[in-house]
Chains A and B, each alone.
Chain A
Amino acid sequence: MKFDSPAGENLFDRATVIGQPIHRIDGPLKVTGHAPYAYERHAVVEGQVYGYPVGAGIAKGRILAIDTTAAEAAPGVLGIVTTLEHDPIEGVFDYDPVRHFGGDEVLHYHQAIAVVVAETFEQARAAANRLGIEYERDDSAAFDLAATPEAAGETDTAPAQTVGDFESAFASAAVTLDETYTTPAESHAMMEPHATIAAWDGDSVTLWTSNQMIAWGRGSIAKAFDVPAENVRLDSPYIGGGFGVKLFVRSDAIMAGLAARKVGRPVKVALPRPMIANNTTHRGETIQRIRIGADADGRITAIGHHNATNALTTAGGENSTLPTVAFYAAANRLVVNDPARMDLPNSNAMRAPGETAGLMAFEVAMDEMAEKLGMDPVELRILNDTQVDPGNPDIPFSDRHYVECLNRGAEAFGWSSRNSAPGATRDGVWLIGHGVAGAYRPAPVLASGARVVLTPDGRLRIESDMTDIGTGSYTVMAQTAAEVMGLSVADVSIGLGDSDFPVSAGSGGQWGAASATAGVYAACVALRQAIAERLDMAEGDLTFENGMVRTGNTSVPLGEVGGGTDLVGEDAIEFGAFRSQEVLVATFGAHFVEVGVHAHTGEIRVRRMLAVCDAGRILNPMTARSQVIGAMTMGVGAAIMEEMAVDHRYGFFVNHDLAGYEVPVHFDIPSQDVIFLETADAYSTPLKAKGVGELGLCGVSAAVANAITNATGVRVRNYPVTLDKLLSGLPAA
Chain B
Amino acid sequence: MRAFSYERATSPQGAARALAATEGAKFIAGGTNLLDLMKLEIETPTHLVDVNDLGLDTIEDSADGGLRIGAMVRNTDLAAHARVRRDYAVLTRALVAGASGQLRNKATTAGNLLQRTRCPYFYDTNMPCNKRAPGSGCAAIDGYSRQLGIIGTSEACIATHPSDMAVAMRALDASVETVNADGDTRTMPLADLHRLPGDTPENETTLEPGEMITAVTLPPAIGGRHFYHKVRDRSSYAFALVSVAAVVQADGTGRVALGGVAPKPWRREEAEAALPDGAAAAMAAILDGATPTDDNAFKVTLAERTLTAVLAQAQE
Q: Which residues of A contact B (CB under 8 A)?
A: 57-58, 75, 122, 125-126, 129, 274, 429, 598, 600-603, 605, 640-641, 645-647, 649-650, 654-657, 659-660, 662-668, 720, 722-724, 727-728, 733
Contact = CB atoms under 8 A, between A and B. Distances in A.
Nearest to A728: B301
Nearest to A135: B126
A669 to B, nearest CB: 9
A654 B312 CA distance: 37
A667 B126 contact: no
Given A601-B306, A645-B146, A723-B302, A125 B39 contact: yes
Interface string B109-126: 000000000101101111
17 contacts: A125-B39, A429-B312, A598-B309, A600-B305, A600-B312, A601-B306, A649-B142, A650-B127, A654-B144, A655-B120, A656-B124, A659-B118, A667-B235, A722-B233, A724-B298, A724-B302, A733-B308
Given A727-B298, A727-B301, 8 more contacts: A274-B124, A429-B312, A429-B313, A603-B231, A650-B127, A654-B144, A659-B239, A660-B118
B143 interface: yes
B305 A601 contact: yes
Given A75-B3, A601-B231, A655 B302 contact: no
B6 interface: no
Contacts of A429: 309, 312-313
B229 interface: yes
B24 to A, nearest CB: 16
Given A650-B127, A655-B144, A640 B233 contact: yes
A191 to B, nearest CB: 15
B17 to A, nearest CB: 29
B139 interface: yes
B143 A126 contact: no
Interface string B299-316: 001100110110011000
Given A601-B302, A601-B305, A129 B234 contact: no
A654 B120 contact: yes
Nearest to B309: A600
A645 B301 contact: no
A655 B298 CA distance: 19
A665 B309 contact: no
A58 B126 CA distance: 8
> Ordered nearest first, which 8 A-B pairs have the shortest CB separation?
A57-B126, A600-B309, A724-B298, A667-B235, A654-B144, A645-B144, A641-B233, A667-B236
B138 to A, nearest CB: 12
Contacts of B120: 654-656, 660
B234 A664 contact: yes
A215 B301 CA distance: 54
Nearest to B297: A724
B127 to A, nearest CB: 7
B1 interface: yes
Given A122-B1, A647-B144, A723 B233 contact: yes
A723 B306 CA distance: 12
A664 B233 CA distance: 9
Nearest to A428: B316
Chain B CB count within 10 A is highest, among A640, A662, A664, for A662
A317 B262 CA distance: 38
A649 B145 CA distance: 13
A645 to B, nearest CB: 4
B155 interface: no
Contact of B237 (A601, A665, A723): A665
A733 B308 CA distance: 10
Contacts of B142: 649
By secondary structure, the A interface counts as loop
A122 B124 CA distance: 19
A662 B235 contact: no
Contacts of B1: 122, 125-126
A288 B302 CA distance: 29
Given A429-B312, A662-B234, A662-B238, A126 B144 contact: no
B41 interface: yes
Interface in B248-275: none
Contacts of A662: 233-234, 238
Nearest to A726: B298
A246 to B, nearest CB: 25
A727 B126 contact: no
A667 B97 CA distance: 12
A655 B121 CA distance: 9
Chain B CB count within 10 A is highest, among A274, A640, A655, A723, for A723
Nearest to A429: B309
Contacts of B127: 650
Contacts of B231: 601, 603, 723
B104 to A, nearest CB: 15
A267 B313 CA distance: 59
Contacts of B305: 600-602, 727
Contact of B302 (A649, A660, A727): A727
B3 A126 contact: yes
B234 A641 contact: yes
Contacts of B124: 274, 654, 656
Contacts of A646: 144
Contacts of A640: 233-234
Nearest to B41: A129
Contacts of B236: 665-668
Contacts of A126: 1-3
Chain B CB count within 10 A is highest, among A129, A601, A655, A665, for A601
A643 to B, nearest CB: 9
A503 to B, nearest CB: 40
Nearest to A666: B236
A57 B139 CA distance: 14
Contacts of B237: 665
B309 A654 contact: no
B3 A601 contact: no
A189 to B, nearest CB: 13
A727 B238 CA distance: 20
Nearest to A123: B3
B211 to A, nearest CB: 29
Given A58-B126, A75-B3, A654 B121 contact: yes
A600 B306 contact: yes
Given A57-B126, A274-B124, A723-B302, A650 B139 contact: yes
A331 to B, nearest CB: 42
A665 B235 contact: yes
B295 to A, nearest CB: 9
Contacts of A722: 233
Contacts of B233: 640-641, 662, 720, 722-723
Nearest to B305: A600
A321 B313 CA distance: 46
B185 to A, nearest CB: 36
A431 B222 CA distance: 34
A616 B39 CA distance: 49
B132 to A, nearest CB: 14
Interface in B25-64: 39, 41
A670 to B, nearest CB: 10
A309 B134 CA distance: 38
A75 B1 CA distance: 13
B143 A647 contact: yes
Contacts of A75: 3
A273 to B, nearest CB: 11
Interface string B273-292: 00000000000000000000
A662 B118 CA distance: 14
A122 B3 CA distance: 9
Nearest to B231: A601
Contacts of A724: 146, 241, 298, 302
A727 B298 CA distance: 8
B98 to A, nearest CB: 13
Interface string B207-235: 00000000000000000000001010111
A657 to B, nearest CB: 8
A708 B299 CA distance: 20
